[in-house]
Structure 1
Amino acid sequence: MKTAFNFFIVLIVSIGLVACSAEDGDIGPPGPQGEQGVQGEQGPQGEQGSEGEQGPQGEQGPAGEDGVDGQDGQDGQDGEDGNANVMYSDWFFPDWNMSDLVRFKRMEVEDSNFSDTWLEGGATLVYWRTNNGSTFLLPWNSYNTAGNLVIERSVIYRSSTSIWITIKKYGSDFTAEETEGQVGGIIRNRIRYVIIPGNVNLPAKSALDYSDYDAVKAHYNIPD
């Protein structure tokens, strides 16, 4: 009973001391900031998953069957040969049947295909070929080294059926090699003519060099 009383006395005194304590003092300065904690290490990254393999490519299907060929069209008719009417003689030797002098010779060549109609707008070409194969369109003249005329060769259209071929020499007489077709087994001089009607290849003919025998032969398909 006494012990309980003493405890009661002590409790009352404690409460009184608290109630009668002096005023609270000023708040002291804040203490120093504590050290920052160490950041934990990042855990290892997980491995990336592997990419799946590509599946095999499908096989190419078989090629389709070829279509049926169409029927061939009918061949067109061949056009007319634009050079079909061109005429020409064989090569022939001179034959001085009208005049056979030492400085003047003339021959007449007859052909029913020489016509006034064809000569008007057409052409009759006379070529002279020497022993070395050189071929010249008449008229054709020869000169000496001084530039003087030595031999003159010409052609005259006499009628619708004949032409005259003439050769003249100045200053001296002819040699056989200058006027004859063959001397000592060697061919020296030959002549041929080509008749081109006015209705044959007129546009091309205007641009064709008649003095170029090889060009004329090729253009009109003339055999040599």
Structure 2
Amino acid sequence: MSSAKLTLETKLTFHNGDTMPQLGFGVYKSERDVCEKSIATALDAGYRHIDSAQYYENEDSSSVVKVVGKAATSHPSIPRSELFLTTKTFNYSKGDTVESLLPGLIESVKKMHPVKEGEQPYVDLFLIHAPSSGPEGRQTLWDAFQELKKQGYAKNIGVSNLQQKDITDYCTKNGIVLQAYSPLVRMQKSDDPTLVKTAKEVGKEPTQVLIRWSLQKGYVLLQIIAAQQSHQRLQF
């Protein structure tokens, strides 16, 4: 495991040379007011990686809970080129084709990156939210993602919510970037004896130990922090 200093500026590199901030800011279950304030504060604090999903219903600014795209791309001093925007889709039903899926995927991109007429919207990463649609569904979605990338709507594509050791080993060996899901275990392990003991030994909070573990494993991980707390720079 790496012992290098890790910061909000630390990035991982894809095969195509694109980079992804290793620490991202997640917006799951964030309602409009909290979501807008949290993203603005996170960007001010130094975050440049914002993670959303169709399932969260907050990509767009056109309804009460859909705000991520507008909030992330309207910061007065951060150009789009410095942001890394991720979204995801569960959008597959039996019988779907690449042609039937593409409009919904493109619409999602447009929500995440609102642009002027004639400009090309894009996300930096589009993920299959979970590989639960079976072999046929996964292949169809992946083919649609490939077309989405070909048309310039997605810089990179991938799959989320994989937690099998053989898959993570394969990805690590082949230079495929991995992103950690629920790195804080939704606070269900905060009183774990081993975790508490380790945190005490190194003089850190249990949450900091969990974050550091994922980072030293080389995983991308997401923080979901209340707006009033997200201004504090985390120590890893």
TM range (shorter): under 0.3
More helix by share: 2
Name the TM-score, length of structure 2 as normaliser. Answer: 0.21
TM-score (norm 1): 0.22
- Bigger Rg over Cα: 1
* Structure with a larger share of its residues in strand: 1
